[in-house]
Structure 1
């Protein structure tokens, strides 16, 4: 339970940082937020794009090869909407 609270706090802090984006979101900003959230529990992967396959329960994430393109797609989608300004 302590771990969950730490992750939740890091997650909120990461998004708090995201609220200060005045122009465009970048992959660098996303990875910096990922590092802040994940470093306490997963320092070896924190702040980097995933290089391996991942399954969580019965969900399989996109292949590691697709991650850079999917992240670029997400950043482009985010920046195309006015809601972050």
Structure 2
């Protein structure tokens, strides 16, 4: 039962990300996003679509005025999670 719910959750997250993250060939991110992104060691090894999602989340956290150390910590956690599904 837990596997079925987990699979449903993964599928639903994917559907929601497609709604939120419209496929754009080239996005110009603010400099602040690049500064935080550059501090994530494993980010460059992620597939391009995961890198774009990571930058999206960094940008969102920046716009929500989270402290930079918290954004870096959250982005590192996201990158680690994304590596599992790359």
TM-score (norm 2): 0.31
| Relative contact order higher in (CA < 8 Å, ≥ 6 apart) | 2
Q: Which has the higher strand share?
A: 1
Q: Which has the higher helix share?
A: 2
